[in-house]
A and B are shown apart, each in its own frame.
Chain A
Amino acid sequence: MTRTTIGWLTGSLVHARPLTKSARSLTFEVPGWPGNAAGQHVDIRLTAPDGYQAVRSYSIASVGAGEDIELAVDRLPDGEVSPFLVDDLELGDQIELRGPLGGWFVWRPEQRAPIQLIAGGSGVVPFVAMLRAHAASGCSAPMQLLYSLRTPDDALFRDELVRNSARTRTTWHYSRAVPPGWSRAAGRLTTQDLRAETLPPEDLPLTYVCGPSGFVEAVASGLVELGHSADNIRIERFGGN
């Protein structure tokens, strides 16, 4: 079990690159960071010159030991923190971090069950960490990802996911617009899609679902309908209703 640091650590932005028009990968060097398991998250604290502070949680895309951690942040139109992280933060700037957090929505190499990951939008971030951990460990249990996104332009880490597809297959699903020549129309992920594109209940997979609240609710009930035991479905979601 990775230890959580309860106090705040200071991190410097050492690498940043755009992932999409609205999302950015940010790597922070965090002296004292104890390393993290795949799927854990971190609290970020920003402080204004007058002392005002804002805290938000983000999933960690990187995994393992080391004092560098990578986040992937999607700009929320009405957000307070995400626009600053995506648009304003410059290399060398410092922020505070606390973590790693969460011991449930994680994947560890010693797990033996086949793994199905199902992401909606920026919910793919903890799964990027799991896929990286899976590749690094040489684990032989199957792991695959079903990635639902609005349009092809919204994909985070597309190159990496495609590159790793021989080992850990990514299946793409588009809800608003499809790439040219795509074999099916854009639409919400249905229970039939889940039946066709995910590991079946007979394989006894552990299925992780992460994304916006409505997406996760619909996918989790679809999985139960298909015959997956609720005990083998782990969910994480963001946003309200």
Chain B
Amino acid sequence: MAVFGGRRQRGDNPALPPGQFLTGSFPVLSAGPTPSVSAADWEFTIRTETGKTHRWNWAQFMALPSEIISADIHCVTSWSKLNTAWRGVSLDTFFDDVETESDFVMAHSYGGYTTNLPLKEVLNGQAWIAHEYDGKSLDPEHGGPARLLIPHLYFWKSAKWVRGLVMQNKNAPGFWERNGYNLHGDPWREERYS
């Protein structure tokens, strides 16, 4: 019988959720071709249940207060990457003037990708629109010009090429959530699949 040795890189690293392993590279996951979105054409919107739409173009986005975010990210395919460095704008800032009674959000991306989120999990310093990775403009393969960054959930929730949030009363599923993946996606509870 063959005996598996393994690398034991996990050891007792408390930063690694169950079933995850560390990677030094930055794997890419996407379901279709990388959309080409220039900053000049980029727009981000939040639409509420009343139909009111809040809009930011790239210059307005850049004028918002940004912060450096250091985060551990966890992909549902089992890789984790610790202490990644991003720059972005907190969703709290975007939601400053938004009035809504909905409890859920559908994130929409250029290219048609969607993912659903509870509103309370993207507020209070838990989520950002990120436009830099490791001190450089975000590479299109990794979601540039701007992507969601929600490090406390599996990384498919951090929608690449994000273009807007639509408030929704029910937690309707997004793209991967309709294709076998968990509605919520907490890596610490291993909410991988539906």
Contact = CB atoms under 8 A, between A and B. Distances in A.
Interface residues of B, number: 36
A4 B180 contact: yes
Contacts of B27: 213, 238-240
Interface in A99-153: 101-105
B33 A104 contact: no
A238 B26 CA distance: 11
Contacts of B77: 57
B111 interface: yes
Contact of B78 (A4, A52, A55, A241): A55
Contacts of B93: none
Interface string A221-236: 1011000001101110
B170 interface: no
Contacts of B180: 4, 101-104
Interface of A: 4, 6, 43, 46-49, 52-57, 80, 84, 88-90, 92-93, 101-105, 213, 217, 220-221, 223-224, 230-231, 233-235, 237-241
A53 B179 CA distance: 27
A219 B21 CA distance: 29
A217 B193 contact: no
20 contacts: A4-B194, A54-B4, A80-B7, A84-B5, A93-B1, A101-B180, A103-B178, A104-B176, A104-B180, A220-B33, A220-B34, A223-B33, A224-B33, A237-B28, A240-B23, A240-B25, A240-B26, A240-B27, A241-B26, A241-B28
Contacts of A241: 25-26, 28, 141
A233 B141 contact: no
Contacts of A4: 180, 193-194
B194 to A, nearest CB: 7
Nearest to B175: A104
Contacts of B30: 235, 237
Contact of B2 (A88, A213, A221): A88
Interface of B: 1-10, 19, 21, 23, 25-35, 77-78, 111-112, 141, 175-176, 178-180, 193-194
Contact of A84 (B2, B9, B78, B179): B2
Given A103-B178, A221-B34, A233-B32, A239 B2 contact: no
Contacts of B179: 102-104
B33 A6 contact: no
A166 B5 CA distance: 45
Contacts of B2: 84, 88-90, 93
B35 A230 contact: yes
Nearest to A232: B32
Contact of A101 (B1, B4, B193): B193
A116 B5 CA distance: 40
B111 A52 contact: no
